[in-house]
Structure formats: C-alpha cells, structure tokens
Structure 1
Amino acid sequence: MLLYIHVPFCRSKCAYCSFFSLPLSDQLSLNAYLNLLLKEIAFWGRRLGSVPVSSLYFGGGTPSLLSLAGLERIIRALDTAFSLQPGLECSLEANPDSCEDPEYLRGLKSLGVNRLSLGLQSLDNAQLRRLERRHDAAQGVRVFDLARWAGFENINLDLIWGLPGQCLRSWLQTLDKTLSLQPEHIACYGLSIEGDTPLAQTVVSGETTLPAEDVQAKMFLRGAEMLESRGFLQYEISNFSRMGYACRHNQGYWDGVEYLGLGAGAVSTLGGRRWENPKNLNQYARLVRWERLGENAQELTPSERVKELIMLSLRTACGLELKAYTRAAGKTFLREHARLIQVLRQNELIRISEGRLRLTKAGMLVSNSILEHFFPATQAP
C-alpha cells in the first residue's frame, strides 16, 4: 500500500494553483491540524491493521511548513499504525522559501525523508513573479545546494513550461540551468489554466498572453530531447529521472497500487472503493472526531476500472499492457479500437511492440485528446 499525507497550508496561494490549499494563519492552526492527522492515522491503523507500506509521500500545500517535531510525531504514529517496509521511499514536497535552513534539512534526513521534491517552477525571476511565487531563482539554487549538504541523494525539481512571457529559448535556458545542478529527477509540467485562479482570470480578460500552441508543443518536445540527451529517462508524460530514480510512489499510482490518503482533501482507493476526505477543515475535523472517515466510499465499476487502466497506463513510457486490458475488459483492445489505432499509427502518435501500446512523444503531447477518443468505445463486461 502507498501512503499519502496531505498538508493543505501555504504561506500564500500562487496565482496558477487550483489545488486544495489554505493560507496558514498561525502555528496554532498547524498544530491543531497535526493532532487531527494523528487521530486519523490511529483510526486507520485500527481499521486496517498492520498493512505493509512501501511508499510514504508528504504533499500539499507546503509540507515543509511542518516542524521537525511535528513530522517526527507523524512518522512515529505511522510506524505504530502500519508496517513501514525496509527501503521505504519517503518523499516530502518543499518550497524553497520554507526550507532554507540547513538544520531543518538535516533533520528531515535524520527522520527518514530520503526524497526531497523542490518546487522551483522556474529559474527566471520575472516568471516567478508572474506566478506569485515567494522565492527567487537564487534562493531555489541555494536550497538545492543546502539539501545536498544535508545529505539528500535523491532530489526532484519541479518546473513549469508554457508560462506567460516564456519563449522556447527561455524555457530551454531554464532547463539547462536546472540540469547543471545535477538533480536525480525533474518533473516538467505544462501550465494548466484552471478554474477561477487569478492567473486564469487574467488570461480570460486578455491581460495575460500565453505562448502559442505550436511554441508550447516545441517546449515539450525539445525539452524532452534535451533531458534525454543529458541522461534522463522519460518514464511518464511529465516525469524524467536518471536511471534508478523514478518516483516509486507516483509509479505506484500509475500501476494501480492501492493507496490511503490522510488529511483534509486526500483521496484513497482501497479494495476497489474510492473516497475523498472533506476539503473543509471543520467537516474533516468532525469526521475524524466521530470516526466516520471513508463512509462516503464508492465502489469503482468495472467500466471505471478499465478506463483508469487505459488512462494511467498510457501516461507512462511502458504504456498499456494489452493482455492486462483483455483480463480487465474481456475484450481485445486492438480489435475493439481497430479504426482509431490505425489512424493513430498512421500519424505516428502510438507504437505497438512487445505486447504493449505506447504513446510516442508526439502522442503524449495530445494524450488528453487521444484518451477522449478511446473512452466512448470502452466498456467492461
């Protein structure tokens, strides 16, 4: 089983962010949330028993706002409630402005955090200001260096392409600077304009202009080429790693491993059932105190499971195992989607080999559109 811990607090909300996060008003709010987390951990420990856990991931929000003492309490509670396996991958997301403290970073390492994920997003100060990030490029580099000093041997750096004011050259320059730091993993996400975020509002109003679609396509393709030429493997649409450093936690999601999400807004999938904790802190607190967590779980239908198999598999470089599809759907994928597959192959958007169907890099660029065409015809028995 995978374990995910959601820490929804941030010092401030970034202009593009649509994830569930809340402004941190004071340390008391964080302490109160920590106590709720500890109660939820104990609840699921009693409910599930000593389940083996292969990966632990602290996400947010900004988990690096947690104190070392708070993190230690969480990890000890998890170790009591579950069976944390030897060789556990323990990842923690951090923003540069919240962890520019060498002793804090050394403390994380001593607690067992062995994978650090830093939210750089860009190494261009003008772009960071547009995103309303709290750090600048120099601070991002300093924190990376401090993490190395603290003993971290597995560091991921998050970057975003397709930003306002970004051209192909500036994106490749950011990528080149990032590569010069020699991280083990780089996640490159295309900017997503979502909901009523401040950035979305300025795009709709015309105040902010995004790079043209053909430029964004070149950012994705040329960026992938640069990364691969420097020893990084693209193992998922947005994720690149050196050999042996793929994120085991995220890989577990894409492989369909069961996971338990703890904290407000966290999602779980166990035993073919899925549920989400409330994003409202008061509602979450009530469910924790009343021990009624997971009562909103919904059984995943056979059709939903098949669709998820396609969607998650095709995000990865390994692609969809055709026999796995036949086992899940009772049908032959190549026969069921014969006409669409022919068109995709003619346009060099997919390739089929060794019993797997994979998206090419050009196919990954339009993966959402490809998946939409697969889904209407997909039905489970």
Structure 2
Amino acid sequence: MSTRASLYVHAPFCRAKCRYCAFFSAPTGSAGPDAPALSRYLSALEAEMNRQAQIFGRVAAPTLFFGGGTPSLLGANALARILAALRQRFDLAPDAEITLEANPDSAAPELLRAARELGVNRLSLGVQSLDDAALKALGRVHTAAQVREAFHAARAAGFANIGLDLIFGLPGQSVEGWLSTLRQAVDLRPEHLSCYGLTIEPGTPLAEDATALAALPDEDCQAEMFLRGSELLEAAGYEHYEISNFAKLSGGVGQRCRHNMSCWRGEDVLAFGPAAVSTMAEETERVRWANPPDLAEWEALVLEGRAGQAGCEALSADIRASEALMLALRTADGLDLNTYAATFGHDLRNTHADLLIQLERAGLTLLDEGRLRLTRAGMLVSNSVIRALGFEFQEISANPENSS
C-alpha cells in the first residue's frame, strides 16, 4: 500500500470555455460558481477525501496541485476549506510544493494574498499569449495588460515561484511572433515557463473554424518555433528540463515543478474531483482510476461512497514498462537503462542495440553513462522514437499542469 503520493485537486469551474479546450470544465460565466454549486462540489470533495483516507491512510504528500478549470475561481474561503480538509486527512510535507493555477482575470490581489497566507507557494498563470488579438481568437477573457498586472500582484503577495503557461503554433502566428511573446515573458522574470504546441481537439470550436485552421503554421514553422524558442529560453537562463517545460536556473539549481516531475517519474498521485486521474500502488498491484468527467455524476458517485471505483484498472507490467520509458524520455534526465532493465527486464542496449546506434547517428538521442536522453531535435519526434523502441505511445493523464 502506498504511503507517499502527490495530491491533486481538480477545480472544474471556469468563466468561459476556451475555443481550443478539450479538458473537462464547467463554465459559470463571469461571476464564477454560484453558492449552491460550490457547496455541492466542496461536500463531494470532502467525501472523496474521506473515502481515500480510509483506503490509503495518512498519505505523505510532497506536493499538492490545484488544477482545472480555473481554481482561482473557488475563492479564498473554499481554498481554505479544501486545504484544511486535506491537512486533516493527509500529511502534507512541511516543505510541500503547493501550486495554484489561476487565470490573469481571476488572480485578484486579495485572493493571491489569502492563498499565500494559506500556504500556497507556487502560482501557475494561464497566460497562453501576450498578444491581445491572439487571446481573443483563442477565446481567452483576459488581456496582455492583465497578465502583467496579475504577475506583479503575485509578486507583491509574496509569491517567489511563478510559472507562466504559453501556447505556440497559433493561427496566423509567425516564428518571430512567438519569439516576441517569449521575450516579453522573460522580461517578467518568472521562475517557470510551460510552452505547449497548439493541439486541435475534435469537437472544439477551433476545430470547426475553417478560417483559423487554414491560418495554422505548417509543421516546419512549428518545428522552428520549438527549436528557436528553446534556444532563446536557454540563453535567458532557463533549463529545458522537459519537452514543454523550462525552469529558471539560479546558482546552477533549477526551479522545476516538483509536482510534474513526480508525475514524469511515474510516482503515485492521489487525485480528487471530476475528471481527476489517480495512480496508486496497492498491496499486490498498481492501479489507476479516472473520475467521471461530469460534475453531477462525480458528485453522485462519491456521495454514494463509491469514489475510485469508476474505470479502475490494474496496470500490467507491459503498461508500466511502456509508461516508464515514455515519461522518462520526456525529461532532460532521460531513462536510466540499468534501473529500467532491473525493474522491467528490458535492456534496450541488448534488444535495440542497432536502433540506438541509428538514433544517435541521426542526432535524436544521446547515450551517456547508462542514460538515454532525447536531444532537442529528438524531442520534436519523441512519439516516433518511443514507437521505434517498440512501445505504443499513450497519452497518460497524471494531472500535470494544463492550460487553464
């Protein structure tokens, strides 16, 4: 049974659904969730915590992540109630990284001050762009000016660890336009930057917009955005520590997101809320379950005492091996081949010796002191490299940061 796991809380509420967003969320309008909806959500959340505490005991948690949706819409009182409920049932480490996702339009100074007083020590701002026209095209409700206001308000509230989420490959965006966004972001001097390529998800408004689709940058242009953007950020003192993530280096030490690193290392995650995904070790196996991506359905499930029973599966050795390889290769640390062979019985230096030579000659990987790493060029085609190594790529939701 697991005694250590990162914690994740999904706050489903958002003011409006962005045109590209396929994550589960519950749009509320500009006022945020009404009192009855928020009360039902909080009661169900506490019921789910009770159930999982009965099963797993007082889990020791090195990190806690509030994702969404837009968690900043919960307000200070709800955040205080959730944190009190978590601390009552689980053991948050004294130095736990506690992250709150927020959108610039809902990151009011009084909320930020309250969050810091409650122990939140990392803020992740859903910026996406610093171009007002691009923000409007994406369906974002904030402006570039509000991004800067929210960032400075967070600093004034005492946040010394702030991350910005950005998206590249937007309709009509040029390479220079993307680099300009990065330069403006760097000027704010955040500790962390997440830079995601735009994904066109079926069923979203953006996927139905023929004009926007026709204006998307082509693959070569997006590849140049990725490569030159990475070079720009590394020159500005950021470590490219995962395909989409950069951490500010200070004295040789980077400010990586500890919660996401835990997910990429394949460690246990105990998650709460609609659409949240947990992966936990039990006595004889490792299991994963996904909560229903529906607020009412999730509330009914947990209030009936059936939390964690929907979509629960035991992870086979093959699945765990595939996931360990895929997740490790996403990071700059790469895959420790000795540990991997000892754990899963697959020594890639024996089973894929010729392929490893080919990948290194092609400039896609590096093999050094028993670690297999993707180069920057290899990161561009990471899924293909993983498939070539004999594993089917799977999109694994371990509740890392998303584009709130």
Q: Could you state the TM-score of these two structures normalised by the residue count of structure 1?
A: 0.96
Match of 1:217 among 216, 223, 240: 223
Equivalent position of 2:336 in the other structure: 321
| Residue identity in the other structure for 2:343 | A
Match of 1:287 among 289, 301, 311: 301
Equivalent position of 2:257 in the other structure: 247
Query: Whole-Å Cα distance in 1 between the matches of residues 207 and 342 of structure 2?
Result: 42
Match of 2:232 among 226, 229, 249: 226
Query: Whole-Å Cα distance in 2 between the matches of residues 372 and 351 of structure 1?
Result: 17
Larger RCO, structures 1/2 (Cα 8 Å, 6+ apart): 2
Query: Whole-Å Cα distance in 2 between the matches of residues 324 and 136 of structure 1?
Result: 47
Q: Is the 8 A contact 1:42 1:77 kept in 2?
A: no
Query: Whole-Å Cα distance in 2 between the matches of residues 344 and 151 of structure 1?
Result: 46
Unmatched runs of 5 consecutive residues or more in structure 2: 394-404
Match of 1:44 among 52, 55, 58: 52
Does the C-alpha gap of structure 1 residues 189 and 376 become closer, same or farther in structure 2, counting only changes over 3 Å?
Answer: closer
Deviations 1:64-100 (A, max 9, x none): 001111110100010010011110100010001112x
SS at match of 1:84: strand
Deviations 1:9-37 (A, max 9, x none): 11100011111112126412122212211
Pairing 1:334-345 to 2, within 5 Å after superposition: 334-345=349-360
Calculate percent identity across the aligned residue pairs.
Answer: 49
| Residue identity in the other structure for 2:290 | E
Equivalent position of 1:354 in the other structure: 369
SS at match of 1:375: coil
Deviations 1:201-237 (A, max 9, x none): 225x775421121111110010000101011001100
Match of 1:15 among 9, 15, 19: 19
Match of 2:272 among 248, 262, 268: 262
| Residue identity in the other structure for 1:69 | N
| Residue identity in the other structure for 2:215 | T
Pairing 1:195-210 to 2, within 5 Å after superposition: 195-203=202-210, 208-210=214-216
Deviations 1:40-86 (A, max 9, x none): 11222222211111100000000000111111010001001001111
Query: Whole-Å Cα distance in 1 between the matches of residues 390 and 153 of structure 2?
Result: 46
Equivalent position of 1:107 in the other structure: 114
Query: Whole-Å Cα distance in 1 between the matches of residues 117 and 392 of structure 2?
Result: 51
| Residue identity in the other structure for 1:3 | L
| Residue identity in the other structure for 2:68 | G
Q: CA RMSD in A?
A: 1.5
The offset of 1:129, in angstroms, is 0.9
The offset of 1:331, in angstroms, is 2.7
Query: How many aligned positions are there?
Result: 376
Stretch of structure 1 that moved more, 352-361 or 280-289 = 280-289
Equivalent position of 1:70 in the other structure: 78
Query: Whole-Å Cα distance in 1 between the matches of residues 260 and 60 of structure 2?
Result: 17
| Residue identity in the other structure for 1:210 | L
Q: Could you state the TM-score of these two structures normalised by the residue count of structure 2?
A: 0.90
Query: Whole-Å Cα distance in 1 between the matches of residues 261 and 83 of structure 2?
Result: 22
Deviations 1:135-164 (A, max 9, x none): 010111110011011110000001111111
Stretch of structure 1 that moved more, 343-352 or 40-49 = 40-49
Match of 1:161 among 153, 159, 168: 168
Q: Is the 8 A contact 1:24 1:30 kept in 2?
A: no
- Residue 148 of structure 1 pairs with residue 163 of structure 2: no
Equivalent position of 2:315 in the other structure: 300
Q: Is the 8 A contact 1:46 1:81 kept in 2?
A: no
SS at match of 1:87: strand
